[in-house]
Structure formats: C-alpha cells, structure tokens
Amino acid sequence: MVEFYTVKRIDNSRLVRRRRGGFMRSCGRQLLIAGVVAAALLAYTWQRYECLQFSYQYEQVKQTESQAAELNGELRVELATLRSPARIDLLARDKLGMTVPQPAQIILTEPRAAGEIADASTTSNPASFR
C-alpha cells in the first residue's frame, strides 16, 4: 500500500468575515432587560422583607400595649383600694390611734369670704375661735 500526500495551498486572504450588525445591540438589550428584571426582583424582595419586619414590630408593640393596659388596670384597682374610706378609717384608728372627736373637742368657726385674708392675731390664739 502506497500513500500519496498532496499539498494544496489555501488562500483565505480574500475572505472577509461578515459582521452581524445587531449582535452588540441585541446583547445590550438583553442585558438591560435582565438588569430591569433583577432590579424588580430585588425591589420586591426588599419590600417583602420590610413588610415582615414591620409586622414583627407591630406585634411587639401590640404585646407591649396589652401589658401596659393590664398593668394600668391593676394599678387602678390598687389605687381604688388605697383610697377606700373604710381602709383610711381603719388605718387612722389602728396605726395612728385616732378616734371620733367628742362634742367638746369640736370647734366651730365662722365661714370666711373667699377673698378675705385672715388676721394673724386672731388665728394664732385658739381661744379666739370660740
């Protein structure tokens, strides 16, 4: 078996590569569309994240408000208990040793007008009230 090799010279110098005129433009357009879609997805994701954060904060504020309202109710009950006339009377009798005044201990005074100023000589002597 005999093999022959032939040499054929190929001249490609006259060939010109044809450019696709809109290739760069279409790549730019596709990149622009992809960027807009990515920005829209990022905006939606950010908006959803912020919505969740505000939802958590709202629940926390509602819980704090509920606790404050409960404490306010407890404090109002305690205030009503502390202001009770029966409790004040009991404390006055037991702790301070107060009693109901006897008729001889009661001193009646004349009512004064709202704009009248008291005289120092009459207020310093308790006998002047009789």
| 65-89 pLDDT per residue, tens | 999 999 999 999 999 999 999 999 9
Judge whether residue 60 has pLDDT over 50. yes
* Global pTM value: 0.47
Distance, CA of 77 to CA of 85 (rounded, Å):
14
Instruction: Kindly state the percentage of the chain with pLDDT values over 90.
Output: 50
Tokens coding 68: 């404050």
Interior angle at CA 120, CA 118 and CA 124, nearest 5: 110
CA distance 36 to 42: 10
